[in-house]
Structure 1
Amino acid sequence: MIDEERPAIDIRRVRDQPDDRPDYRKLRRAIESERVHRVGPGAFVRTAEWQKLSRIDRHRLKVIEAADRMRRPAVISHFAAASVHRMDILGAWPERIDVRVSASSGGRSSGLIRRHSIGIDDVDAVAWRDHLITTPAQTAIDIVAVTDHLQGVVVLDQALWANRPGGPLASIEELRALLEKRASPKGRARIEHALSDATALSDSVRETQSRVWIRRLGFPRPILQKPFALPHGTARTDFYFPDHDHIGEFDGVGKYLDPALLDGRTPEQALIEEKDRADALARLVRRVSRWRTPALRRPRELYDILTADGLPSTQPPPPRSLYLRR
């Protein structure tokens, strides 16, 4: 079931107040001074409130606003559908809203809408807000067909994510069935390659990114989410390399800052608990490696962390100049 809840934010819509037209000069000045953010045509929010939203919720809100303004039924798809299904991506969300259109329409895009002329007759979609929206499996397949391998694996992992609250959004069987019935040959090889790397055991986009780079950099294939018994419970590790008794962990800052992840703890308490966990794991295995997002944007840094900690690679180190923007 699709979550219909809007992000908790106060939106001023011109169409909702026909007798109280805004002063457009003042509004333009407010936008130019970045005190107000334009969500869509005739819809505005205070920038301070907008910045409190996560990136996925910002795009999801833009999709909802666009869908509610569309006069004709549409098929919401690709990244727009991903935000509604809460399937996260790597990097920035698109500026425009993705919709599928019939192949004969030509797929011409506008300033707000990005049209994909890949057909609507055999698409897997469900009803949503007077429109149709592609299912999570269809959404993932559509995105994989038009993006790079890393982003494709990220989206597939998000669809398959076993630990997602409420359960996974799709199964590998469902994804493969959609690939088999896909009419267009475009992107088929890309989809097959991404499916071969996808897993249900990646708990974040950065874990997926880490896994893809671990393989690209020539390190051994790890076991994902291996449990270890600690004095005060069980710890599941991001990556475990059994032949080398070596644990690898992506150390995201969200666990110290996100109220949902803190679950009533202070950032200091979360930091102490994480340090105690890391120390306990270090007493059980030969080595523990940890890295943060900068090491994923500079693969040489990840390579140096793992090799310095004793994990062997079959590949030479990447150039230090290699920098990824997402």
Structure 2
Amino acid sequence: MLSPRWQGSVMGIRTEHPIVVHRRRDRPDIDDRRLAAEVKAGSVTRIVAGSFARTDEWQALTPMNRHFTRVLEVADRARGPVVLMLNSAAAVHGMDRIGAWPDRVDVRIPRASGGRSSGAVRRHALGFDDVELMEWRGHLVTTPAQTALDLAAASQFRDAVIAIDQALWERRKGGALTDVDALRALVDATWRRGFRRVPAAIAFGTPLSDSVRESEGRVLLDRLGFPRPVLQKKFVLPNGRIARPDYYFEDFDHAAEFDGTGKYFDPDLLAGRTPQQALLEEKDRSDALRRMVSALSRWRTPAHLKPTLLYDILTADGLPSRLPRPRGH
């Protein structure tokens, strides 16, 4: 007997397509030969069978929104209600990740059905006992808390922390998706095999990590032996603006930041500025912050891919580690 933990619906959950999608079934006048030629030429991208988008619009989407678009297309053509889970539920809730998003949409089905996957769908025959579900566009999706736990249970520690941080992120538009108490209560109520690593990820999680790279950086800092930082500490710059560095090591008056490139290229983050203007503003901000602390370290993605580089950057800037320099990657 199925006994999902029913949570109803949540205001603000994403439901609309981020781009215009053209569907073969809605356009009987489409010339299939011409469409195939456009796909081959690269001007049109196939999302799932029978659904297409202009390639320039598709490529302008974030990887999460590309997967979200696939989820919408699969849901809209399903013959009955589907139950979304894992990365597909994360895309619905706006919970980001590091690495490539899957091409297939993850759905949960009854245990007796078998887990056969085909086309754009990956089926998980896990049943619905003690799973928190909520309504979504005539379908069901695991709640943010359930989604975070499912992802954490299926991931290594870094990605488990990222999933937890994304669910707890308090500066998200509309606020945090859940809280630590809800996560812990759900673990206690639905404990199962694979949850062994989840409590540690919850304990390490924070509502203050503003991006997946910041979450990844926290894990790396801990593994490299650096002190636990204060996150998003507020500094009032001489011009009155507020600076909140990603990390601040109080005992050493040392601020540190992951310098992502999105702020220089993402139209939403640019907010009408040119990339050059954004770069100059960021330089002025960093210079002002540097004059207020004893040390400021900054790094980009390569330092996460090669932790020895991150170790060298921080120790060269005067931040001590309790561990020796790691060997290799």
Q: TM-score, length-normalised on structure 2?
A: 0.92
Among all aligned residue pairs of Structure 1 and Structure 2, give the percentage whose two residues are the same amino acid: 54
Question: Does residue 16 of structure 2 align to residue 5 of structure 1?
Answer: yes
| Equivalent residue, structure 2, for 1:147 | 155
Q: Does 1:53 align with 2:61?
A: yes
Deviations 1:72-112 (A, max 9, x none): 21111110011111110111101110111222323222232
Q: Does 1:156 align with 2:167?
A: no
Corresponding residue of 2:25: 15
The 10-residue stretch of structure 1 (253-262 or 30-39) with the greater mean CA deviation from structure 2 = 30-39
2:70 corresponds, among 62, 75, 88, to 62
How many residues are treated as equivalent by the alignment?
317
Unaligned runs of 5+ in 1: none
Listed one character per residue, the Cα deviations across residues 214-243 of structure 1 (whole Å, up to 9, x for unaligned) are 001111111111111211222111101111
Letter in 2 for 1:130: G
- The root-mean-square deviation of aligned C-alpha atoms, in Å, is 1.4
Distance 1:266 1:21, change over 3 A: closer
Partner amino acid, structure 1, of 2:152: V
Opposite residue 202 of structure 2, the aligned amino acid is L
Report SS of the residue matched to 1:226: coil
Distance 1:108 1:318 in 2: 43
1:73 aligned to 2:84?
no
Shift of 1:315: 1.9
Displacement of 1:21: 4.6
Q: Distance in 2 between matches of 1:22 and 1:40?
A: 18
Whole-angstrom distance in 2 between the partners of 1:197 and 1:116: 28
Unaligned runs of 5+ in 2: 1-10
Shifted more, 309-318 versus 81-90: the winner is: 309-318
**Cα deviation digits, residues 153-176 of structure 1 (max 9, x gap):** 111111100101111111111111
Contact 1:144 1:190 in 2 (8 A): yes
- 1:227 is aligned to 2:238: no
Q: 1:100 aligns with which of 101, 108, 112?
A: 108
Q: Which moved more, 1:142-151 or 1:257-266?
A: 257-266
Normalized against structure 1, the TM-score is what?
0.93
**C-alpha distance after superposition, 1:5-49 (max 9, x if no partner):** 211x232211112x32532x4433333332321111100112122
- The 1:181–1:34 alpha-carbon spacing in structure 2 relative to 1, beyond 3 Å, is same
For residues 92 and 31 of structure 2, the distance between their equivalents in structure 1, rounded to whole angstroms, comes to: 30
How far did residue 274 of structure 1 move?
A: 1.2
Equivalent of 2:203 in 196, 200, 203: 196
Compute the displacement of 1:271 (Å): 1.5
Aligned pairs (5 A) from 1:85-124: 85-124=93-132
- Equivalent residue for 1:82? 90
CA distance in 2, matches of 1:313, 1:204: 24
Secondary structure of 2:57's aligned partner: helix
For the residue of structure 2 that corresponds to 1:218, the secondary structure is coil
Q: Does 2:280 align with 1:269?
A: no
| Aligned partners of 1:75 and 1:120 also within 8 Å | no
Q: Answer yes or no: is the 8 Å Cα contact 1:14–1:22 preserved in 2.
A: no
CA distance in 1, matches of 2:315, 2:221: 11
Tell me how far apart the structure 2 counterparts of residues 178 and 82 of structure 1 sit (CA, whole Å): 17
